[in-house]
Amino acid sequence: MKNLIKGLAQRIRELLYLLVSLPITIFLFSIVVIGLSTGGFLPISVLVFLFLLTFMEAIARFEIKRTNRMLRTDFQIIDNWFSYPFASWDGVKERVTSSRSWMAITYVFLAFFWSLVGFTMAIIGIAGVLGILLSLGLIAFLNFNKSFVFTDNGETISGSFHISHINSPFLEFTFDDNGSTGKFAWSLQSWPAIVASLILILLSIWLIPRIARINAKLVESLLSGTALPELEAKFKKYFGGKKVSVSERQVREAMQTEQIREELSELSNRERQILALMAQGKTNAGIAKTLYINEGSVEKHISNILNKLGINGGEDTHRRVTAVLKYLGISQNND
């Protein structure tokens, strides 16, 4: 029962997260479009563009905090993106070449799309619930009547639009065209209406958590920066191993940029992510919370990591330490 309540609470949080995300991402999307498309006086356009790149840090902080609060994730907030002042040549170069700023801009465009999809699915799910409640007679609208008269070239069409309680036709439309009459009536008290509502609800229940996870993954990879090392590695691969300049403090860049050693090459991207979190001292529960997966999946991935690294036998704690030492490139001496 406790797990059922916990799962229901999580679904409600995901639903609220998607409902709130659309207006927020519309606002952020508008800011980014304005910042990228400002024309006119060139110096003003440059200042607006630089301000946009700088403002991305505040947007990233806000979105990470919102996701952590609503979805109960534990994504890291990276502060102090920029080392140099806004009004300096070094500050301008740093902002224009900032990987984090451009990743945040990418996030806004992707989040806008997925928030639109998620909001649509949330509304569809709510409509399905309302359909079921109306079909079962648990709720009913007040009576509503509206008459109309339409005249065109001497011809008059009159009629009425009627919404009534659930115990009579729910929606009724009648018209009279110079003696020719017609009537349309529809009631929610029918199996097709109930089945359609159930389909909408099940579709929403299946898609809403997945869309919420996609949004959370975008926040983690593009705003929290877990995709940054992989992005830099790809640049190095395609540009002959040249150093890619990013607007990060040198210490943080050194910590986040890793060269995948040969002994780690067999690990998948997800397994390397989990190994990196193990190196940060996170428990299985902490890793699950960060990656938005369950603890069972974390345990399975860790088992695969240990097997691929050839770490067998011994206590679990010792095996984890050995795996972390290999990840950090520290050789373990046997006394």
The DSSP code sequence of 34-95 is HHHH--SSHHHHHHHHHHHHHHHHHHHHHHHHHHHHHH---PPPPP---SS-TTSHHHHHHH
End-to-end CA separation in angstroms for the chain: 51
Look up tokens 């994730």; give the residue: 73
* Helices 2-37 and 191-218: angle between axes, nearest 10 degrees: 60
Q: Are 172 and 164 in contact (CB under 8 A)?
A: yes
Count other Cβ atoms within 10 Å, centred on residue 211. 22
Q: pLDDT per residue over 176-226, tens digit each?
A: 666 667 666 656 556 677 788 889 999 998 999 999 999 999 998 889 877
pTM for this prediction:
0.62
Q: Please, are residues 175 and 181 in contact by the beta-carbon 8 Å criterion?
A: yes
Main-chain dihedrals φ then ψ at residue 10, nearest 5 degrees: -65, -40
Number of H helices, E strands in the chain: 11, 4
Check: CB of residue 38 under 8 Å from CB of residue 48: yes
Torsions phi, psi for 156 (to 5 deg): -120, 130
The burial class, CB within 10 Å (0-12 / 13-18 / 19+), for 217 is middle
pLDDT tens per residue across span 288-311: 777 767 788 888 888 888 888 887
Taking CA atoms, 298 is separated from 183, 271, 282, in Å, by 60, 9, 11
Instruction: Please tell me the least confidently modeled range out of 36-50, 147-161, 248-262, 299-313.
Output: 248-262
> Residue 90: pLDDT above 80?
yes
Most confident of 51-55, 171-175, 275-279, 300-304: 51-55
- Are the C-beta atoms of residues 291 and 280 closer than 8 Å to each other? no
Question: In the prediction, which pLDDT does 40 show?
Answer: 62
Sign of torsion over alpha carbons 37, 53, 225, 258: positive
Domain ranges of the chain: 2-130+202-226, 144-188
Distance of alpha carbon 116 from alpha carbon 69, whole angstroms: 21
| In the chain, % of residues over pLDDT 70 | 68
The pLDDT value recorded for residue 140 is 58
> Which pair of structure tokens corresponds to residue 299?
């345990």
What is the arithmetic mean of pLDDT over 22-33? 93
